[in-house]
Amino acid sequence: MAAAASVHPDAILRDLRKLWTDLGKENPETGVLRACAMTFIVVAAEEDDPQAFGETVAELTHENPSRVILLRICCAGNKRLESRVYAQCWKPFGSRQQICSEIIEISASPEHFADVPQIILGLTVPDLPIVLWSRKPDVNVDGLIPMADKVIVDSTGIPDPGQGLGYVKQLLAGGTNVGDLAWTRMSPWRQSVAQVFEDAGRPALEKVRITYYRQSPSVSGRYLAAWFRQAVPGVSVSLEPAPGTKRRSIFLEAAGLRASVEVEGSMAFLTVNGLTRESAVPDRDVAALLREELAILGQDATFRKVLQLAE
Amino acid sequence: MQPATHPAANPFIDAQRFERRAPPCTVVIFGANGDLTKRKLMPALYRLAYERRIPPNFAVLGNSRTQMDDETFRAKMCEDVKKFLEDSPFDQQLWDNFARGLYYLAGDLADHGFYQQMSAKLDHIAQAHQTGGNALFYLSIQPSYYQTVIEGLGSANLQQADKAWRRVIIEKPFGHDRDSARQLDAAIHKVFPEKRVYRIDHYLGKETVQNILAFRFGNGIFEPLWNRRYISAVQITGAESIGVEGRGSYYQEAGALRDMIQNHLLQVMATIGMEPPPAFEADTVRDERAKFLRSLRILKPEQVPLFAVAGQYGQAKLGAEEVPGFRQEPGVGTDSQTDTYAAVTFYVDNWRWARVPFYIRTGKRMPKRITDIAIQFSSAPHSVFSQSDDGSGRPNLLIIRIQPDEGISLRFQSKYPGSGMHLRPVSMDFNYGSSFGARTPSAYETLLLDAMVDDATLYTRQDMVDASWAAVQPILDDWGNRKFDFPNYAAGSWGPKESEQMLARQGHVWRVP
């Protein structure tokens, strides 16, 4: 379902209209359902695996039907700028009708990268949110950020955690509504901690120990420490190395309470005063992380506070 | 000195991201060997565990008359969950972990000694699983035993515990009529205060019924139209394609009016018609529902034949299949006067809805299974198009589909392509499944979790139940004293002709859903 297109918004939109007409003709009995709830701009680096990337986008469009604008950085030195449009369709179980999202793929060599924001500006869906997901922090997306209602990055793409944290802080300081997948990865941990304190009679948290097994605490670990500090001001929080183990742990202490949240491999262990419940850790691939971020298009108040405290 | 405790609000909750999670507790299921437990309750609890919404300190204590030990109960529940779990994979390792918290206690509900045993077992579970003594009692038993169990719980003082909460969930029907409902309430309130009584109406737990509130109160464009000036009628249909499916003897005592309209459909109607609450909180939402239900006009005896129609299906051939009539169903008397179809015109005596008819119908052996609500807007006041088929006389319809194909459609007129001005109705559709591909939780998952976290927003309150009974009681009284010429509609049809006539008298027709 591809169609060639010249790289001008009007031409691309014309090709989109033709795409939908053709899709309707291919399915004369049921037609197809064109679903769109936002514009989702995805920036892919040259080294990203196109197939894996396509699968992630396809998975996301099931729950977040969108006009996807897939910007591929490619072919340095080749002075290339081209586009194509196609549809991503799926059929819900038991349904005869296909539901389709539209994808506009723009391939641009670095020489043309500065031209791209102007093109994309003409391609966004009116009156619906615009979300930008930039896979690689080293790709300059400054021209796209102002048009986005939310920018999703992954600071773990920067090898030095300190620099990674700085990058996200800088985006926030510039007024960007930013989401960081390094923070999103912490949600299951945070939920488990919240569960320990679900009982209103639980004592106030006094001490937290977070272990890590790499050389220095990751951005995610730093976020977690900051989260404890903003939730319980005055709590003692330490980040400690735990060499020789693959188990990541959070130990919680309060009067009459010893609890821990631990993950090793695909298993999680939540222990409250000696009573342990094991559970499988859901496989949170990048699509799952993005799904969580796409569910929050407004300001994430907790993350903003955490980002300010993280160090 | 007492150690500092967290304030009532959990400081670690991130409402933007976290799903609700259950606090430590034991769910006690009376009727654990029954249909509801195996089909709905246990799969819902397992699913909550699967989604890690149940804490390590959680347990279930099942009860019925049947003798079995904990292990047998666990094995039985495992089979049932595997069989009835919907939209979810079964994970044996997760089940094994969950099942360690399942216990069973056989006992006679009328024996007060049994509740002493239950008290001891609950203490044991509270120790072993650190539930803090919190307990949610779920009455999934015949309604005739409700009072017995409530009294039994009271006899062993199980309704309260030191530094722990105790709540009770009661399944419908809440009484057989208004008097019996009031008697039941009085018996319940001797043991549990109203605040700790959760009357479950699973319709309110459906995502699409909750979405009515989001649709009405999360959007600015509909509310100004949501009144007698712009809406000419509302139709609510709750149709089932199946018959009584072996429940003939139960259904013969209930009937369609009691089984569907008095509870489910009146609650749906209240959701459509209630005033905006000041906040989405249990009491404010329920106050508005109750106010609406209290505004329902009570029919005078002589009005009942004009505003309510009873029906009963007769045998028919559906496709190649011979379908028995209600009176041929097992457990049903050959001269049964039970309504398998009921249609009622309700009026709401308040400023918003004055003179707007709310037509509600429900029936068994209808052409298809569907529950939907049609808001019929007033027609355009003047036709500017000359052609006779200009369609401007056709009202705009807003259709809210509760099940299946959950979603919302708006029907309006559009120009048919070509020369001339010919109008045709078109439909603008929102499909829940297409726009949000995520799995929607079952009503029981939602409602069980709500009860555990003490959120009664989607549960019915005593005054709501009482107002619903008040609205249908004159109809029940009239029908109880009449001899109908049943059957009066064929299986597979949309009901008796008297139902069409009821609407025709108001200048309306039933839609074909």
Condensed to tens digits (0 to 9), the pLDDT of residues B389-416 reads 555 567 889 999 988 878 888 888 887 7
Give dist(CA B289, CA B199) in Å, integer: 14
Distance CA B236, CA B344 (A): 10
Q: What is the mean pLDDT of residues A286-296?
A: 91
Which of B19, B20, B57 should we substitute to test contact with A (largest number of A Cβ atoms within 10 Å)? B57
Structure tokens at A108: 């641009």
**Nearest alpha-carbon partner for B234 in B504, B508, B497:** B508
Determine the distance in angstroms separating the CA of B454 from the nearest CA of chain A, rounded to an integer.
12
- The residue among A158, A188, A189 whose CA lies nearest residue A171 is A158
CB spacing of B18 vs A191 below 8 angstroms:
yes
Residue B1: the pLDDT is 40
Task: Please report the sign of the dihedral spanned by the C-alpha atoms of residue A203, residue A206, residue A207, residue A208.
Answer: positive
What number of helices (H) and strands (E) belong to chain A? 9, 15
Mean pLDDT of the region A299-310:
93
- Which positions in chain A touch B437 (Cβ < 8 Å)? 62-63, 92
B142 touches chain A (CB under 8 A): no
The answer, yes or no, to whether residue B59 has pLDDT greater than 60, is yes
Residue in A152, A188, A139 with CA at minimum distance from that of residue B53? A188
Distant-in-sequence, close-in-space partners of B446: CB < 8 Å, separation ≥ 6: B205, B207, B210, B458
B101 Cα to chain A: minimum distance (Å): 11
B13 contacts in A (CB within 8 Å)? 194
Span A55-74, pLDDT tens digits: 888 888 888 888 999 998 88
Q: Which of B12, B163, B437 sits opposite A201 (nearest CB)?
A: B163
Query: DSSP E strands: which ranges in B364-504?
Result: 370-377, 397-403, 407-415, 423-431, 489-490
B12 reaches A (C-beta below 8 A): yes
pLDDT at site B2: 43
To 5 degrees, how large is the angle CA B435–CA B439–CA B443? 110
**Is residue A78's pLDDT more than 80?**
no
Chain A partners within 8 Å of B129 (Cβ)? 275
Distance (Å, whole) CA B259 – CA B253: 10
Among the residue ranges A150-164, B240-254, B381-395, the one predicted with the least confidence is B381-395
Q: What are phi and psi of B137, to 5 degrees?
A: -95, 125
More confident residue, B387 or B288: B288
Q: Do B5 and A202 touch (CB under 8 A)?
A: yes
Alpha helices of B56-177 — where are they, by DSSP H? 70-84, 92-99, 112-129, 146-155
Alpha-carbon distance A220 to A161, whole Å? Answer: 9
Active site residues of B: 264
Cβ within 8 Å of residue B348, ≥6 positions away: B273, B292, B295, B296, B297, B354, B356, B358
Query: Residue B8: pLDDT above 60?
Result: no
- In angstroms, the Cα distances linking B179 to A252, B260, B370, B467 are 54, 19, 32, 12
Size of interface A-B (CB pairs under 8 A): 110
Strand, helix or coil for residue A157: helix
Tell me which residue in A193, A203, A277 faces B56 most closely, judged by beta carbons.
A277
Out of A198, A203, A295, whose CB is closest to B4? A203
Of B24, B129, B435, the CB nearest to A199: B24
Contact A271 B129 (CB under 8 A): no
Average pLDDT over residues B81-90: 86
Range with lowest mean pLDDT among A5-9, A117-121, A187-191, A268-272: A5-9
d(CA A300, CA A169): 14
Whether A63 and B8 lie within 8 Å, measured CB to CB: no
Nearest Cα of chain A lies from the Cα of B319 at a distance, in angstroms, of 22
Q: Does A190 sit within 8 Å of B56, measured CB to CB?
A: no
- Average pLDDT value for chain B: 89
Query: Residue A276 and residue B57: Cα distance in Å, rounded?
Result: 9
Q: Given pLDDT bands bounded at 50, 70 and 90, which one contains residue B5?
A: very low
| Separation of alpha carbons A120 and A114, rounded Å | 11
| pLDDT tens, residue by residue, B451-500 | 998 999 889 999 999 999 999 999 999 999 999 999 999 888 899 999 99
Cα–Cα distance between B193 and B209 in angstroms, integer? Answer: 27
3-state secondary structure of A125: coil
| Cβ neighbours of A200 in B, within 8 Å | 5-6, 8, 10
Residue A77 has pLDDT above 80, yes or no: no
Band of residue B435 on the pLDDT scale cut at 50, 70, 90 = low
| CA dist list (Å): B225 to A67, A137, B220, B232, B272 | 32, 49, 10, 11, 13
Ranges of H-type helices in A174-294: 181-184, 187-196, 219-231, 286-294
- The reply to whether residue A194 touches residue B16, judged by beta carbons under 8 angstroms, is no
Q: In what order do the strands lie in the sheet with A248-254?
A: A236-241, A207-212, A248-254, A257-264, A267-272, A275-280
Instruction: Give the nearest partner residue to A201 out of B5, B436, B437, using CB atoms.
Output: B5
First and final C-alpha spacing in chain B = 66
- Beta-carbon contacts of B342 under 8 Å, excluding residues fewer than 6 positions away, are B255, B256, B257, B260, B261, B308, B309, B310, B311, B361, B362, B363, B475
Q: Backbone phi, then psi, for B57, in 5-degree steps?
A: -90, 70
- Helical ranges in A64-148 per DSSP H: 116-121
- B17/A296 touch (CB, cutoff 8 Å), yes or no: yes
> What percentage of chain B exceeds 90 in pLDDT?
61
Give the whole-angstrom CA distance, residue B467 versus residue B463: 6
| pLDDT tier, A97 (very low <50, low <70, confident <90, very high otherwise) | confident
Give me the pLDDT at residue B242, please.
Answer: 86
Tell if the CB–CB gap between A300 and B16 is shorter than 8 Å.
yes
Instruction: Record the pTM.
Output: 0.79
Closest alpha carbon to A108 in A141, A155, A156, A146:
A141
User: 3-class DSSP state for residue B448?
Assistant: helix
Q: How far is A258 from chain B (nearest CA, A)?
A: 13
> Which residue in the set A199, A200, A277 is minimally distant from B97, CB to CB?
A277
Closest CA to B149 of B296, B43, B32, B285: B32
Please answer yes or no on whether A277 and B431 come within 8 Å at the CB atom.
Answer: no
Q: How confident is the model at residue B7 (pLDDT cuts 50, 70, 90)?
A: very low
Q: How far is A256 from chain B (nearest CA, A)?
A: 9
Beta carbons of B409 and B428 less than 8 angstroms apart: yes
Query: Do B5 and A204 touch, CB atoms closer than 8 A?
Result: yes
Q: Do B433 and A190 touch (CB under 8 A)?
A: no
Is residue B358 a contact partner of residue B348, using CB atoms and an 8 Å limit?
A: yes
pLDDT of residue B391: 54
Residues of chain B contacting A187 with CB distance shorter than 8 Å? 14, 17-18
Most A CBs within 10 Å: which of B1, B17, B21, B429, as the mutation test of the A interface? B17
- Give percent above pLDDT 70 in chain B: 96
Res. B173 pLDDT band, cuts 50 70 90: confident
For residues A238 and A258, give the distance between their C-alpha atoms in angstroms, rounded to a whole number: 16
Cα of A297 to nearest chain B Cα, Å: 10
Query: Among B4, B18, B434, whose Cβ lies nearest the Cβ of A33?
Result: B434
B419 and A CB contact within 8 Å: no
Question: Cα(B269)–Cα(B373) distance, rounded to whole angstroms?
Answer: 9
Tokens read off for A195:
């569960």
Q: Of chain B residues 58-117, which have a CB less than 8 A from chain A?
A: 91, 93-94, 97
The pLDDT value recorded for residue B35 is 87
Rounded to 5°, angle at Cα B159 from B156 and B162: 95
On the question of pLDDT at A120 being above 60, the answer is yes
- Whether pLDDT at B303 is above 60: yes
Which is higher by pLDDT, A1 or B448?
B448
pLDDT band at B433 (very low <50, low <70, confident <90, very high): low
- Residue A43, helix vs strand vs coil: strand
Tell me whether residues A197 and B56 touch, CB distance under 8 A.
no
- Token pair listed for A71: 């910007």
* Cα(B345)–Cα(B305) distance, integer angstroms: 11
| pLDDT on residue B393 | 63
Phi/psi of residue A133, each to 5°? -115, 115
Pick from A183, A277, A291, A305 the residue to mutate for testing the B interface (most B CBs within 10 Å). Answer: A277
Report the pLDDT value the prediction gives residue B392, as an integer from 0 to 100. Answer: 53
What mean pLDDT is predicted for residues B309-334? Answer: 87
Among B6, B52, B163, beta carbon nearest to A279: B52
How distant is the Cα of A194 from the closest Cα of chain B, in angstroms? 5
> Measured between CB atoms, does B334 come within 8 Å of chain A?
no
Question: Of A133-137, B258-262, B277-281, where does the model show the most confidence?
Answer: B258-262
Asked if A33's CB is within 8 angstroms of B55's CB, the reply is no
Beta bridge partners of B169: B138, B198
How does residue B436 score in pLDDT terms, banded at 50, 70 and 90?
Answer: low
Give the C-alpha separation, B83 to B159, whole Å: 34
B167 touches chain A (CB under 8 A): no
Both tokens assigned to B41 = 């309750």
User: Are B30 and B149 a contacting pair, CB within 8 Å?
Assistant: yes
Distance from CA of A137 to the nearest CA of B (A): 24
Question: Which positions in chain B touch A192 (Cβ < 8 Å)?
Answer: 52
User: Are B434 and A232 inside 8 Å of each other by CB?
Assistant: no
Interface contact B18, partner A, CB < 8 A:
yes
Exposed / middle / buried, residue B430 (Cβ in 10 Å: 0-12, 13-18, 19+): middle
